[in-house]
Chains A and B, each alone.
Chain A
Amino acid sequence: MLAAFQERIREAAARGAPLRLRGGGSKDFYGGALEGEVLDTRGHAGVVSYEPTELVITARCGTRLDELEATLAANGQMLAFEPPRFGADATLGGCVAAGLSGPRRAAAGAVRDFVLGARLLDGRARELSFGGQVMKNVAGYDVSRLLAGSLGTLGLILEVSLKVLPRPAAELTLQLELSEDKALEALSRWAGQPLPISASAWRGGLLGLRLSGAPSALQAAAKKIGGRPVDPAQTGRFWSGVREHADAFFAGDAPLWRLSLPSQVPALGLAGEQMIEWNGALRWLRTRADAAAVRAAAQRAGGHATLFRAADKAAGAFTPLSPVLLRLHRELKAAFDPAGIFNRGRLYPEF
């Protein structure tokens, strides 16, 4: 398999022909242009090593995310960043390349926070290994974390080692009626207190809060926060609706924006409907408002706006980079992929 990948890469590099690195294709909608011939990574699959007491799993890029998570669940563990799959075919390689994290992100960390090591093929088809299977490692630059969210622009991720965590002993979801302003204010205030909040989702005057931890901690926190407990039979579907964008909020064809902001920023007052996650740090917005206006509002607030799902992405998927950052991106791209063949235009049209 590896030799076949290398051959494809060498051949494409020699021709300067773009290659589109693709797993299950569940995130084809995400990011910029899809250019080039598909290089399907799904044949390179399987868990390489997993020892629950080391808190590390290593698996190949084509491993299905649902199978990986089922393996962890069978051992009472989980991917704490709750990556969205957006489809049954989602693979580990795509999960890391997309760098998307789910509801637990504000409490537990993002994909990049759990990446411990990676093997990849660079644009010269060299097999490279960075990081490892240990928690702390500062030998050399942290290239494996850099791969998280790189959208396949730096190389073909062959294998990834991820830190895993035990599943919480108990979970409890509370529901509170709060306006957007009040919810944002309360979320920032609670986030500054030692409360076991592991997820938050506000929409249309209702705030869902998930608490995770020891039963004693959940009871104490629920008393402090108030609201009413949601029937445990409903909570799984509610949070997977948020994580997988299966919630009714995500239906329909209005462009979906992803605003990443400092959590304490008050309501932006943009036209359209919102779902707020991550204690206020992630705001999904359905709007037909002008892209420049949405981006400017997010930037003024100290964040950025991504055109996440839309029929027309002429405005660009991601907020443009400053000239100095664009230069660094181009130089890094050239270091990894001198012929510029991997997922060209997927992150930015310039490379």
Chain B
Amino acid sequence: MGEALPAAGIDEARQRAVARALRDFLPGRAVLWQEEDTRPYECDGLTAYRSVPMVVALPETTDEVQRVLRLDPLARVAVVQPGVRNAAISDMAAPFGLYYAPDPSSQIACTIGGNVAENSGGVHCLKYGLTVHNVLRVRGYAMDGEPVDFGGEALDTPGLDLLALMIGSEGLLAVATEITVKLLPKPLAARVVMASFDDVQKAGDAVAAVIAAGIIPAGLEMMDKPATHAVEQYVGAGYDLDAAAILLCESDGIAEEVEDEIARVKTVLERAGATRITVSRDEAERLKFWSGRKAAFPAMGRISPDYYCMDGTIPRKRLGEVLNFIGAMEKKYGLRCPNVFHAGDGNLHPLILFDANDADQLRRTEAFAAEVLEKCIAVGGTITGEHGVGVEKIDQMCLQFGAAELALFHAVKRAFDPQGLLNPGKGVPTLARCAEFGRRHVHGGQLPQPGLPRF
């Protein structure tokens, strides 16, 4: 991380040939190749990784990839193009009392195509599932140019479940052009309990206690004190700023059922040592309680020039241990790291605050993040719950998987894309890269480059 990937080395003759070939079937203005035009496409939201593309091909208008092709309330499906925003699907389904369940915090901006690529979750996925549980079909093109359907409108398809393989594959296997999602009936009522704890471990134990009581809340989220302080300044969600951690626990269903469940949740949380409990009184207050959680990432942008969002998943019972580890890393690297946590499903989003203009902070952030991801693996978790591997976490793939698994991933890739044309270099590291990483990597919590001056 930190250095731009080599942008140079673009073969001009090749660039001209590719641009010309694309212009055969795209209008001239849709094909960009001059550096001033391609530069804006060198990175996504994580600006630390950059690579100027050789050629950029744009849809003629965004309308070409953002159409809703069908919304069928009786079949409870929406058929959309990949550029349709996640939240737009629920907005369109709302008049029929339906919605699309996965709701990543970025749902007002993120697209369903990206959700399919990363198997995105959201704050309600413990009860309602991830993208893989809510998509019926991905239609697109295989790399031989043939149109292909993965999944269908029935609940299963004959043969191997290639839809499961496509979802979360980071665009490495085929090109998606149309996605059919399931729509669910919108619960009639929803209320959220906000509970304060004077200790993060107690909050983690409270989550286990809720599950042990046989309750699957519609949402179950945790934020630590640095996170609540950051968002409170930004949105004023009414969080308890004295608490070491707060839990947000939502119940949904019919009104009577919600009342019953909220009462049970309150009892469990009180027994688990909650120091303060507030229940949303109306829809406005419920949305206000959630607004802080949903604004956690932008709120970090207000208190720090840059933030680096991690995405490990851990068994819930190891939460205290992992948070203590992150606390120790904050001291070790001299960087702050508020935490937001999809507590229900163990997906942790530590947010390292840094200044990308300071090369040393960037290096420390990188080392910090790498140690946390390795800790996630060590406690039986994973380096990415829903944000994907891309190029950013590719070295940690070498730690999570052995050579045989990586070899099989490459074989799966070859089965779909024999020439390796789709998103080359992403998702799965080569064995050579892992060997090189292994030589650089020092186990036992030592820095990859112990000689570098820190702080």
Complex contact B146–A140 (CB within 8 A) = no
* Set of chain B residues within 8 Å of A302, measured between Cβ atoms: 152-154
**A136:B346 contact, CB within 8 angstroms:** yes
Q: Contact between B385 and A138 (Cβ–Cβ < 8 Å)?
A: yes
Beta-carbon contacts of A191-228 to B below 8 Å, as 1s and 0s? 11111100000000000000001101100110000000
Q: Which residues of B contact A99 (CB under 8 A)?
A: 156, 161
Q: Is the CB of B154 within 8 A of A303?
A: yes
Q: How far is the CA of A140 from the CA of B170 in the complex (A)?
A: 9
Asked if A55 is at the interface of the complex by the 8 Å CB criterion, the answer is yes
Q: Interface size of A by Cβ–Cβ distance < 8 Å?
A: 87
Q: Provide the A109-138 mask, 1 if CB < 8 A to any CB of B, else 0.
A: 110110000000010001111101111111
Quick check: A192 and B96 within 8 Å, CB to CB? yes
Contact A142 B167 (CB under 8 A): yes
B260–A139 contact, CB under 8 A? no
B162 at the interface (CB under 8 A from A): yes
**B286 in the interface, Cβ–Cβ < 8 Å?**
no
Q: What 0/1 readout, one digit per residue, does chain A (316-327) give for beta carbons within 8 Å of chain B?
A: 001111111101
A73 interface residue per 8 A CB criterion: no
CB distance from B376 to the nearest CB of A (A): 9
Residue among B313, B386, B428 with the most chain A CB within 10 A?
B313
Stretch of B21-29, B57-65, B184-192 on the interface side: B184-192
Knowing A113-B133, A135-B313, A189-B74, the reply to whether A141 touches B216 (Cβ < 8 A) is: no
B185 — nearest CB in chain A belongs to which residue? A194
Judge whether B389 is part of the interface by a CB distance below 8 angstroms: yes
Interface membership of chain A positions 328-349, coded 1 if the CB is closer than 8 angstroms to chain B and 0 otherwise: 1101101110000000000110
**Residues in B neighbouring A150, C-beta threshold 8 A:** 160-161
> Which residues of chain B are within 8 angstroms of A303 by Cβ–Cβ distance?
152-154
Residues of A within 8 A of B167 (CB): 142
Q: Within 8 Å of chain A (Cβ to Cβ): is B388?
A: yes
Query: Contacts A53-B211, A139-B400: A220 and B254 contacting too (C-beta < 8 A)?
Result: yes
Q: CB distance A136 to B154 under 8 Å?
A: no
Residues of chain A with a CB closer than 8 A to B380's CB: 132-134
B156-A110 in contact (CB<8A): yes
Segment at the interface with A among B1-9, B43-51, B117-125, B297-305: B117-125
Q: Are B211 and A146 in contact (CB under 8 A)?
A: no
**Stretch of A60-68, A161-169, A234-242 on the interface side:** A161-169
Residues of B contacting A138 in the complex (Cβ-Cβ under 8 angstroms)? 118-119, 168, 170, 382, 384-389
- A290 at interface (Cβ–Cβ under 8 A)? no
Q: Are A145 and B161 in contact (CB under 8 A)?
A: yes
Could you say which of B270-278, B355-363, B402-410, B435-443 contacts chain A?
A: B402-410
Interface presence of A262 (CB below 8 A):
yes
Is there an interface contact between B188 and A122, defined as CB atoms closer than 8 Å? no
Residue of B nearest to A56 (CB): B315
CB of A91 within 8 Å of the partner chain: no
Q: Is the CB of B256 within 8 A of A216?
A: yes
**A281 within 8 A of partner (CB):** yes
Minimum CB–CB distance from B383 to chain A (whole Å) comes to 5
Report which of B125, B254, B260, B427 forms a contact with A194, defined as CB distance below 8 A. Answer: B254
A51 to chain B, nearest CB (A): 7
Interface residues of B in 232-285 (CB under 8 A from A): 253-254, 256-257, 259-261
In the complex, are the beta carbons of A335 and B411 less than 8 A apart? yes
Which residue of chain B lies nearest to A194 when distances are taken between CB atoms in the complex? B185
**Contact A149–B156 (Cβ < 8 Å):** yes
Q: Mark B202-218, 1 if CB is under 8 A from A, else 0.
A: 00000011011011100
Is B416 an interface residue, CB under 8 A from the partner? yes
B129 beta carbon closer than 8 Å to chain A: yes
B153 and A262: CB pair below 8 A?
yes
- Does chain A have a CB within 8 A of B76? yes
Could you say which residues of chain A place their CB within 8 Å of the CB of B154?
260-262, 281, 302-304
Min CB distance A265 to B, Å, is 9
Contact A136 B254 (CB under 8 A): no
Name the contact of A336 in the complex, choosing from B77, B183, B393, B408 (C-beta under 8 A): B408
Q: Which B residues lie within 8 Å of A323 (CB)?
A: 146
* Residues of A close to B293: CB separation below 8 A: none
Cβ of B327 under 8 Å from chain A: no
Assess A347 versus B346: contact at CB under 8 Å? Given A192-B98, A194-B187: no
Check A133 against B315 for contact (C-beta < 8 Å): yes
Tell me the smallest distance from the CB of B365 to a CB of chain A, in Å: 21
| Closest residue on chain B to residue A258 by CB atoms | B156
On whether A335 and B412 interact (CB within 8 A), knowing A134-B315, A139-B401, A325-B148, the answer reads yes
> In the assembly, what is the distance between CA of A134 and CA of B311, in Å?
13
Segment 13-56 of B: residues with Cβ below 8 Å from A:
none
- Interface presence of A20 (CB below 8 A): no
Given contacts A138-B384, A303-B152, contact A328 B257 (CB under 8 A): no
In Å, the complex CA distance between A99 and B161 comes to 10
| Set of chain A residues within 8 Å of B409, measured between Cβ atoms | 140-141, 143
A287 within 8 A of B: no
Question: Of the candidates A133, A134, A217, A334, which one forms a contact with B254 in the assembled complex, judged by CB atoms under 8 Å apart?
Answer: A217
The distance in angstroms between the C-alpha atoms of A331 and B414, with both chains bound, is 8
A264 an interface residue at 8 Å Cβ cutoff?
A: yes
Contact between chains at A136 and B347 (CB < 8 Å): yes
Smallest CB–CB gap between A55 and chain B, Å? 6
Cα distance A320–B155 in the bound complex, in angstroms: 17
A195 to chain B, nearest CB (A): 8
B158 proximal to A (CB < 8 A) = yes
Contact A264 B74 (CB under 8 A): yes
B381 on the interface (CB 8 Å rule)? yes
Question: In the complex, which of the residues A134, A166, A331, A347 contacts B381, with contact meaning CB atoms closer than 8 Å?
Answer: A134
In Å, the complex CA distance between A23 and B400 comes to 30
Does A294 interact with chain B (Cβ within 8 Å)?
no
Contact with B along A240-273 (1 / 0, CB 8 A): 0000000000000000000011111000000000
Q: A142-B132, A220-B256, A335-B412 are in contact. Are A136 and B74 (CB under 8 A)?
A: no
Q: Please, could you name 22 A-B residue pairs with CB atoms under 8 Å apart, sorted by A?
A: A53-B211, A53-B212, A54-B211, A113-B129, A135-B346, A136-B125, A136-B347, A136-B385, A138-B386, A139-B389, A142-B165, A193-B97, A213-B253, A214-B257, A216-B256, A263-B75, A303-B152, A324-B142, A324-B144, A324-B146, A329-B159, A335-B408
Beyond A138-B384, A260-B156: 5 further Cβ-contacts under 8 Å?
A: A52-B212, A137-B385, A138-B385, A154-B160, A264-B74
Q: A residues within 8 Å of B by Cβ?
A: 51-56, 76, 99, 105-106, 109-110, 112-113, 122, 126-130, 132-143, 145-146, 148-150, 153-154, 165-167, 169, 188-189, 191-196, 213-214, 216-217, 220-221, 260-264, 278, 281-282, 302-304, 306, 318-325, 327-329, 331-332, 334-336, 347-348
